[in-house]
Amino acid sequence: MSGFLGVLRRDLRLSLSGGGEVLTLVLFFIIVGAIVPFAIGPDRALLASIAPGIIWIAAFLAMLLGLDRLFRPDRDDGTLALYRMADMSMASVVAAKVIAHWLTAALPLILASPFLAMILAMDGPTFWRTVLSLLLGTPALAAFGAFGAAITVAIRRGGLLAPILIAPLCVPVLIFGVGAIAPLGGPDQASSAMLFLAALSLMALALSPFAAALAIDWGEE
């Protein structure tokens, strides 16, 4: 447990000490969402109706920016090799990195979502459903991202390949994320979509550390 917490603290310290990485993700998230109104025009009703999808797509794209720093810096400086020789399992290392990635990539986006909500003319109930769906769904995006980063860590310019690999895995998260906010079938469908989001995140968090650990071991051998 101490090793797990040590990896978590180290990744959080490295992510926050740089200062610019988290700010870059937040600014990218806001810019992507803010560009859409210029294309849609002044129709506030139309803008509000598609706002949940815009926020989810912006969050997904912003989280892709941080994938390359999950494992590659540790591989380049030899830390990843030390993790493999340590007493703790590689799956525990990956799990700690997934949590750190969510705290430094997804959580700041959720905290910044009120700015997009104002730009996109979202009402109060829709905004709070959006926040809840992001809290339930972004852990799955972080877990899938870690799996993609682990597969490509040994490949030169693998950071360009990882988003392509994980995009199909993230499609169900995006579908249920938007469905939980703007359901076509009423409140019952929204509740079902929320439950599916939670189930996807739990499944991804349970399986991705082991899959990513196998990918790292295979890539380093």
Roughly what angle, to the nearest 10 degrees, separates helices 20-40 and 44-64? Answer: 150
User: What are 28-55's pLDDT values in tens digits?
Assistant: 999 998 888 788 777 778 888 888 889 9
CA distance 88 to 83: 8
The structural domain count of the chain equals: 1
Sign for the CA dihedral angle at 193, 198, 202, 205 comes to positive
CA distance 129 to 135: 10
User: What are 153-181's pLDDT values in tens digits?
Assistant: 877 766 678 888 899 999 999 999 988 88
Structure confidence at residue 124 (pLDDT): 83
Parent domain of 134:
2-220
pTM tops 0.85, yes or no? yes
221: tokens are 């051998």
- Contacts by 154-162 with C-beta closer than 8 Å and gap 24+? 154/75, 154/219, 154/220, 155/219, 158/68, 158/72, 159/67, 159/68, 159/72, 162/64, 162/67, 162/68
